[in-house]
Structure 1
């Protein structure tokens, strides 16, 4: 296999990664930046973040030596439907000095490729958002959910974070007992609660309706003053509280896992033995939701291999190299670049 260079980008709602690699699996450069989803952040802001990650990956390298580039983009529908967004992103590739073709695909496609070299299977992705898809020929063909924070993304990091705030408000106003999760959420938003001396829910004495209302109002204001997707940042707090035995967090995790498995079930029959790739911050690491989903998968699809996608940029780089590789070379590169 003759050596050549490829570039892969994985652009999500909360993070962007870029990887420059060779076709024999050597990593030459990488870069990271904040989320570059144009639907969530707008074309100009998203493009600036993508350019930051791309520039870091290409630092010290000749961009004209890159033979192919694949970009996995959350919000690819906006990219495809809006000429302005496509033009703004096209300017990134030109300014970076790339002369090779740049293929923009769904972030789901690169996440699947980062989990398995097999061309057909299913993927369940839960990060800021949530989506499941049947994959054929390494392309998502039957997609479920992924409708965004306002209308869908059941079981996602955003959904989990929103449930955490709702549970905290219930603890503040007395509809539910104070829990560790409520304390963690308040500590995340405040160093000191309004009109109180400490940051825990225990500082709000029973019957102090005005104090409770001040705390609740301040929490609501903090949430609405930030971008909606910022609620996904609370998901790790829910995982932490769940691991500590907090019953409210356990219930949120149970509901999230159930929603995600239900979405996945729409992409595959009960008897399917094709691989299942789990991806995203909620499922790509050993979290309580991940563990629950894996257990449910084992019960429903006992013959299916379950793989975890941890590096979408590597999956994108592998897809960029794929058309120029034999089957044997493609599998070898996947082991070195993605699985390794």
Structure 2
């Protein structure tokens, strides 16, 4: 019996699906630690790969039965990242066909059940990716939290913290955001918050984890939170426009992924309104499959084309 393995290497965890190469239903689905090498710990990533291959081995007699491993991960446009991930796979005893690609590709394949259409991802970071009928591709965003990631969880978290300090020093008023941020962080003063923000152990994921505060404040009618949701939607709209225009995907459905779009109706509805005004034939849809299953589909397509 031959197997296909698909991995979605997210920032906080790695989703893995193992299937038979001639069947659609997963043999096993599980999660392991993150394998994102950009800003990740090499030792922790090695441990995650060890756990992943331990689970894979429990599905088959030997790794020789695995016909293809496909990994979708962030940062693989950097050759050093791709080489590092490949080395981890080989160090765990797998010597067969291997595909390592950007997580936007596997997300698109899973979301649209084909390598065609548009995927918009807004989680810790943000990115939009599309492929048209001619196979032409275009990507916007995804260049990291220091210079990009508009409309992402990190963007929202940073803006919430900005509101907090501006409210505390008198530049802003009449918002419940500081109270909600303090509560989520378990802190009580602006000095403690600054300590948290600039602590060397605080990561972009910790900042992004504040994003649900915006949604909660929006639900309570907070004007500043509602304004932030609109700003977030505007940033995501700007990601989608060049993909639609360059690929002429004026009637393509836009699959949405990531916690910001899937869990905050305020951002999603604001984005829908913007799309409706400029691209009335376009609509947002939930993914058909997740990105790990998209990696499986991509792996199968590589086999059939190879």
The TM-score bracket by the shorter chain reads 0.7 to 0.9
Mark the CA change 1:58 to 1:174 in structure 2 (over 3 Å): closer, same or farther. Answer: farther
1:77: Cα distance to partner? 1.8
Confirm whether residue 223 of structure 1 aligns to residue 177 of structure 2: no
Matched, 1:64 2:38: no
Q: 1:73 and 2:73 equivalent?
A: yes
Distance 1:140 1:37 in 2: 27
Q: 1:316 aligns to what?
A: 295
Counterpart CA distance in 2 for 1:106 and 1:71 is 8
Aligned residue number for residue 201 of structure 1: none
Contact 2:108 2:129 in 1 (8 A): no
Task: Give the alignment's TM-score, normalised by structure 1.
Answer: 0.79
C-alpha deviations, 1:108-128, integer Å up to 9, x for none? 001101111344322211111
Q: Distance in 2 between matches of 1:43 and 1:311?
A: 26
- Per the alignment, residue 26 of structure 1 pairs with 25
CA 53–158 in structure 1, closer or farther in 2 if over 3 Å, else same? farther
Indicate whether 1:244 and 2:240 are aligned: no
Alpha-carbon distance change, 87 to 76 in structure 1, aligned in 2, over 3 angstroms: closer
Q: CA deviation at 1:66?
A: 1.5
SS in 2 for 1:38: coil
Given the two structures, how large is their TM-score scaled by the length of structure 2? Answer: 0.87
How many residue pairs are counted as aligned between the two chains?
A: 298
| CA deviation after TM superposition for structure 1 residue 107, in Å | 0.4
CA contact (8 A) 2:108 2:116 kept: no
Instruction: Give 1:110's aligned residue.
Output: 106
Alignment of 1:262-273 (within 5 A): 262-269=238-245, 272-273=250-251
Query: Cα 1:299–1:231, aligned 2, differ >3 Å: closer, same or farther?
Result: same
* Residue 138 of structure 1, CA deviation: 10
- Match status 1:288 vs 2:288: no
Moved more, 30-39 or 299-308: 299-308
1:116-265 to structure 2, matched below 5 A, reads: 116-136=112-132, 141-177=137-173, 179-190=175-186, 193=188, 215-225=189-199, 226-265=202-241
Over the residues paired in the alignment, what is the CA RMSD in angstroms? 2.6
Q: Which stretch of structure 1 is more off in the superposition, 142-151 or 128-137? A: 128-137
Give the secondary-structure state (helix, strand or coil) at the position aligned to 2:260: coil
| d(CA) in 2 for partners of 1:48, 1:88 | 13
SS at match of 1:99: coil
Give the Cα–Cα distance (whole angstroms) in 2 for the partners of residues 61 and 293 of structure 1.
45
- Gap runs ≥5 in structure 2: none
Out of 155-164 and 123-132, give the one that drifted further.
123-132
Unaligned 5+ segments in structure 1 are: 194-214, 327-340
Note the alpha carbon deviations across 1:77-126, whole angstroms, 9 max, x for none: 23x2x2xx444423332344323211001000011011113443222111
Deviations 1:155-197 (A, max 9, x none): 111001100111111222232225332112111222x52xxxx
Deviation for aligned residue 1:304: 3.4
Q: Secondary structure at the match of 2:171?
A: coil
Contact 1:32 1:56 in 2 (8 A): no
Q: Which runs of 4+ in 1 moved over 6 A?
A: 137-140
